[in-house]
Amino acid sequence: MEKINYTGLIHKEITGVITSEESALLNDWLTEDTRHSDLAEDIRGIWILSQTKMSGWEPDVEGGLAKLKQRIEEDENSGKVTRRPVIFSILKYAAAALFLFSLGYFVKGVKSPDLQWQVAETQTNEIKTIALEDNSQVTLNGGTYFSFPKAFGSGERMVKMDGEGFFEIARDENRPFSVEMDHGTVRVLGTSFNILNDPETNTTTISVATGTVAFIPKNSKQEFILNANDKLIYNANSQQYRQVKNLSPNDWSWKTNELVFQDTKLKEVIPAIEKHFDIRLSLKNTELADCRNLTATFTEANKMDVLSALTLTVGVEIKKAKAADTFVLFGGNCE
């Protein structure tokens, strides 16, 4: 079952490369929930501003604030019924004003406006590797948007991503490396790690292979420090998180094309297989999740090979369900 990257579709709509089929999917999603349309509006605004910022454009901060003030007065005087309470409108305008001020500061002083930004994107089931100017390497999973400068500035190394990527960062203590995302920022000096930024669940998952990684959620004072074999799952909606120790390299199996299970419980095996092949597995006998384990290594195996191995080693039968890319696991017992 293919996941739909709605943030990516919004980006395509902005840049005018969206297909009619993608446009229909996006419109259905926008009308499904008012929060979706609100999110799309914010993404469009930030994307447009970020692109003009990259080209060295000087923002008219005073003019922008004047327009914001006028819009506030128009909203207050209109008789329209708004979807969100007044407090959310006030916060939205305050955030926009703050963004304009920070953008002016960004362009005029702290960041270099001369960076030449480039964009790489991958289609579904496509994997692409990007070599950065500092000898770092980023491998992008399918459905990912990645923005990076042709050459980094002297003070820091910053890139932007929406989707999933595996980062192998060259160490440079004088220029920290950061990945900007919708839900927050990852900062490192030199390390390797995987990031999955999922717009459907509004979660960010960071899995560290080597070194140390810091994650700072958007609009939060918290900072999470992750070491090798640590994983953090952060939900932007609830601002809740879960940390996992001794993670499996299966978190980036899409890059290595290898699944490794060492006496692994079925409840951990199933989500790893689902993510690797982008399928859904339904376990009818839920008791098996904790009582049956799997030890196996699959290298460049297809999904049917892996599912067949489950029937032999775990003692379940597998049938194709009516839903696309969905399989039902039934039978089996705890020994």
Mean pLDDT score, 108-118:
61
Contact residues for 185 (Cβ-Cβ < 8 A; gap 6+)? 178, 179, 215, 216, 218
> What domains lie within the chain, and their CATH numbers?
6-110 (no CATH), 117-249 (2.60.120.1440), 257-330 (3.55.50.30)
What token pair was written down for 94? Answer: 């305050």
Using alpha carbons, select from 210, 211, 209, 234 the residue that is nearest to residue 222.
Answer: 234
Model confidence at 204: pLDDT above 70: yes
Task: Give me the count of residues in the chain.
Answer: 335
Partners of 243 in beta bridges: 232
Q: How confident is the prediction for the chain on average, in pLDDT?
A: 79
Q: What is the pLDDT of residues 156-203, one digit of tens each?
A: 899 999 999 999 999 998 899 999 998 899 999 889 999 998 888 889
> Strand 280-283 vs strand 224-227: parallel, antiparallel, or unpaired?
unpaired
Residue bearing tokens 């501003």: 49
Per-residue pLDDT band for 98 (boundaries 50, 70, 90) equals: very low
Mean pLDDT score, 1-28:
73
Using alpha carbons, select from 57, 175, 41 the residue that is nearest to residue 113.
Answer: 57
Partners of 281 in beta bridges: 327
Contact residues for 61 (Cβ-Cβ < 8 A; gap 6+)? 100, 101, 103, 104
Residue bearing tokens 């998180």: 241
Strand, coil or helix: 126: coil
Contact residues for 44 (Cβ-Cβ < 8 A; gap 6+)? 10, 14
Q: What is the pLDDT of residues 127-144, one digit of tens each?
A: 999 999 999 999 999 999
pTM above threshold 0.85: no
3-state secondary structure 168-207: ECCCCCCCCEEEEECCEEEEECCCEEEEEEECCCCEEEEE
